[in-house]
Amino acid sequence: MPLLELDAIESFYGDFQALFGITVEVAEGEKLAIIGANGAGKSTLLATAAGLLQPERGEVRFDGQPLRKLPAHERVPLGIALVPEGRHIFPSLTVAENLKLGARTGRKGPWTLERVYELFPLLEPLARRWGSGLSGGEQQALAIGRALMSNPRLLLLDELSLGLAPVVIEALYGVLDEIAGEGTTLVLVEQDVTRALDAADRVYCLLEGRVSLHGRTSEVSREKVVEAYFGVVEH
């Protein structure tokens, strides 16, 4: 049984349809990449999985349990955590307060304040700094750490590298294996195709709200990825 299933999902923003009958499965312990151009529906897919957006049709299941009508705040205690695009840390709280807020679900697991500081050593010296005083990379590390503090079974990462310097991106991607090693399943939304394919076990490519390609990253060719990403065939 997959840990996460999105079955024939159709999601809308008002009258605008963003997802068209999308079906995605994520196995427990897997690292899954969701790639695609701007507007392909990647963030909408994660929002639907996290409960921030309720689909008009289709079903979301987590560990076999239907979640379609369950709001986001009731999914977090089940073990689903989202690191949203733009980080959305609390600027008026300190780093330590942001992290402790993530632990309010009371879920048991390996991720504690000390363990997050081990994963992101840059955060501990900043523990008393306000969120508003952090750089983009520090904010992203904090957003991931806050999500981990809920001890999720499933971590949804939306646009991990967006707007960050290459050295920061390299450091953030460097911790994904360690997070997965603690038993956390990862779903990564990314526009950087090469980095996403290197980091993941399997990939789904979205094109205009539909799945245009899926498979193991070791088995998909560059030509097929380009075709699926842009909807054109390379010659």
CA dihedral over 99, 31, 154, 58, signed as positive or negative: positive
Query: Does residue 62 lie within any of the structural domains?
Result: yes
Question: Residues 110-128: what's their mean pLDDT?
Answer: 96
In sequence order, what are the beta bridge partners of 101?
none
**Helix 95-102 and helix 136-148: axis angle, to 10°?**
30
Residues 6+ apart with CB under 8 A from 170: none
To the nearest whole percent, how much of the chain has pLDDT over 70? 99
pTM of the predicted structure, to 2 decimals: 0.94
DSSP E strands in 124-227: the ranges are 154-158, 185-190, 202-207, 210-216
Structural domain including 62 reads: 4-230
Whether the per-residue pLDDT at 25 is higher than 90: the answer is yes
| Confidence (pLDDT) at 1 | 86
- How confident is residue 231, by pLDDT bands cut at 50, 70 and 90? confident
Rounded to whole angstroms, how far apart are CA atoms 49 and 215? 20
Query: Is 164 contained in some domain?
Result: yes
Band of residue 86 on the pLDDT scale cut at 50, 70, 90:
confident
Is residue 225 within 8 A of residue 197, CB to CB? The reply is yes
Q: Write the CATH number for 134.
A: 3.40.50.300
User: Is 235 among the domain residues?
Assistant: no
Above 50 in pLDDT, residue 214?
A: yes
Q: What are phi and psi of 94, to 5 degrees?
A: -75, 170
Pull the structure tokens for residue 218.
């070791």
Report the SS3 class of residue 66.
strand
Who has greater pLDDT, 51 or 231? 51
Number of domains in the chain: 1
pLDDT at 235 > cutoff 80: no
- pLDDT at site 233: 57
What one-character DSSP code corresponds to residue 130? B
DSSP-derived letter for residue 94 is B
pLDDT digits (tens, 9 = 90+) for 156-209: 999 988 888 899 999 999 999 999 999 999 999 988 889 999 999 999 999 999
- Mean pLDDT score, 104-126: 95
State residue 191's pLDDT score.
Answer: 81
Residue 76 lies in a domain: yes
